Amino acid sequence: MNQIRMINIENISAPPCDRSDFYEEHIINKIRKDIEENGNLDLSHAIIVREIGNNQYQIVNGNLRYILAKKIGIEKLPCIVKNISETDGIYEFLSENTQHELTPLVVGLAGLLIENGLGGRGNVSDRTRLCRCTGIDKGSLSKYISAATIYKHVENNLNCDEKRSLARKCSVLCKIKNFPNETWFSFAKYIANNTDAEKLTKSINLVKTVESIENNQVWRDCFFPFSKMVEMSLKDQTGEMTIKPTFRELNKTVEVLMESGRGDEINDLKQWLNENAFRVQGGRTFFNFRQIINHCRDILNVNNHTDKNFVNCDAIEFVKSLADESVTACISDPPFGINFHDIGISNTSPIVNDIPEQAMKLYENLAKNLYAKMKKNSYVVVFYSPKFIVPVVTAFVNAQFTLSDQMTWVKNGHGQGNLISSPLNKCEHFFIFKKGNPVWLTGAYNCFVYPVPSNRLHPMQKPIEMIESIVDAVSSPNDLIIDPFCGSGTILKACLNKNRLIAGAEIDENFYNTAYCNLFCDDESNVAVAI
């Protein structure tokens, strides 16, 4: 039987594969409480150590109790001294430890030590023994070991909190079982260099989405491997919103080519993708998803969807490019000039031109350039902030429009306000200006009650049903409606739903991409009849 000895705590050191930084505060507190209340440092809770020479001992089991005893100021610990090798010590540590101590990362570090430090690299029997004593399968073990490699690689440069957060993320990473290895390694590499958990989650979701797309493997093998996808999404250079519709469009194209006896064109498509799917510009890589979608539609000769009148450019330039007296209605939602910050979506960049002076200049230029483009009897519906009633009305009246009415959207939630000099905004407002004498076709009331859209594509997104009612009131099927400030494209989408012709612009490339997918790729029933 092993002897129990009281050993000076100064002569004891931690096990080689354990890190006190890993332990979550609540676990430490629980054990501390245990020790304080139940005296759990008695002989029945002796710590297992092995002698490493010179009256020095290394812990095999009981590291947490050792850490806490040190913190509490206990000088001597009851220990069972075992005469075992370092490798056996690690195996014993793994098989004897309680569940909370045996995190994936600890197992990974143990595996790493055995393979690299003690047993020799890639020793299959080591892995088999490790799996047996931890009850972990081989696939998981290899991921745990990789996570540990990453952790070890960066741990020296991190402070205690960062180490704990990195350890937590490595453990999360270890639990992602069903991802292909290349994806897993891309995440792992990212974790090693960057500690932004939000982007990591976004990217993991992207992979999950792509995994759920039929035939994704074909397109990954052909031109867009997972590692590149992950890398680009981690750098915010692409995401679900663009990859999903592109893969769907490619699948649809292949299906039609096969069904119509044009299967030999599939290789041409793959070749084209290899050459055209990406472009590098200013050191950034861009995914040419719009070109891919258009190319597919060209192949199938079904390109009635077109983005030629939905442009990624400045609203005023867009308005200037329109033919005189061609527009039946303009429904638009320019930046309000309120320095909007979205508390709902973190990390969003500010809305372009949302500074008061810039926004008011836009209203002024919009009104000035729009008048000639509007049909003789037509409406302009324009959202605004109550802070700027006077400059907005002035801009349109100076441009010869007449103020016809003002309408309100009553929301279920509220927006910005400071409760000191102004109440919280539970409504949004829009003016109805007119050129000539148009007729308001439907709708008896000047307010709408709709919840804020739940599919948050844009922080200032409007409810599509409300816009559809406005579309019905100011136009008829096949009329042209424009929105020079598209955001996520809600207004134009409502127009498409109501069989209107559309044209519009959005200056922010990310929102433009979002709107593009919202308008042209969202569901197959969309017959986008842009002019």
Ligand X SMILES: C[S@@+](CC[C@H](N)C(=O)[O-])C[C@H]1O[C@@H](n2cnc3c(N)ncnc32)[C@H](O)[C@@H]1O
Applying CB under 6 A, the residues found at the interface with ligand X are 314-315, 333-335, 351-353, 362, 458, 460-462, 485, 487-488, 490-491, 505-508, 511
Q: Which amino acid is at 64?
A: L
**C-alpha 159 chain-centroid distance:** 27
Minimum CB separation of residue 193 from ligand X in Å reads 31
* Residue whose CB is less far from ligand X, 148 or 460: 460
- Ranked by CB distance to ligand X, the top (closest) residue is 487
Minimum CB separation of residue 155 from ligand X in Å reads 42
Count CB atoms within 10 A of the CB of residue 449. 13
* Residue whose CB is less far from ligand X, 301 or 454: 454
| The three-state (H, E, C) secondary structure of 264-291, written as one string | CHHHHHHHHHHHHCEEEECCEEEECHHH
**Half-sphere exposure of 290 toward its Cβ, with a 13 Å CA cutoff?**
19
Task: Please list, residue by residue across 517-531, b when 16 or more beta carbons sit within 10 angstroms of its beta carbon and e when fewer do.
Answer: bbbbbeeeeeebebe
* Residue whose CB is less far from ligand X, 310 or 396: 310
**Half-sphere exposure of 108 toward its Cβ, with a 13 Å CA cutoff?**
24
* Residue whose CB is less far from ligand X, 15 or 487: 487
In the structure encoding, which two tokens stand for residue 507, read together? Answer: 């200056």
Minimum CB separation of residue 418 from ligand X in Å reads 20
Residue with tokens 């030629």: 308
Distance CA 514, CA 242 (A): 8
* Residue whose CB is less far from ligand X, 101 or 508: 508
Minimum CB separation of residue 421 from ligand X in Å reads 23
Distance CA 228, CA 225 (A): 5
* Residue whose CB is less far from ligand X, 294 or 488: 488
Coil/strand/helix, residue 26: helix
Minimum CB separation of residue 460 from ligand X in Å reads 4
* Residue whose CB is less far from ligand X, 118 or 352: 352
* Residue whose CB is less far from ligand X, 315 or 482: 315
Of 295, 287, 277, 311, nearest in space to 503 by CA: 311
Minimum CB separation of residue 383 from ligand X in Å reads 7
Minimum CB separation of residue 464 from ligand X in Å reads 8
Helix (H) or strand (E) holding 331: strand 327-332
Q: In degrees rounded to 5, what are phi and psi of residue 441?
A: -80, -35
* Residue whose CB is less far from ligand X, 104 or 459: 459
Distance CA 233, CA 236 (A): 5
**Apex 106 CA angle, 105 and 107, nearest 5:** 90
Residue with tokens 């308005």: 319
* Residue whose CB is less far from ligand X, 216 or 461: 461
Minimum CB separation of residue 465 from ligand X in Å reads 13
Of 105, 11, 27, 95, nearest in space to 65 by CA: 27
Minimum CB separation of residue 473 from ligand X in Å reads 17
* Residue whose CB is less far from ligand X, 150 or 521: 521
Minimum CB separation of residue 391 from ligand X in Å reads 16
DSSP secondary structure string for all residues of 454-497: SS-SSTTPPPHHHHHHHHHHH--TT-EEEESS-TTSHHHHHHHH
* Strands annotated E in 94-212: none
Rounded to the nearest 10 degrees, the angle between the axes of helix 138-155 and helix 124-134 is 100
**C-alpha 253 chain-centroid distance:** 28
Minimum CB separation of residue 490 from ligand X in Å reads 3
Distance CA 333, CA 461 (A): 9
Check: CB of residue 365 under 8 Å from CB of residue 348: no
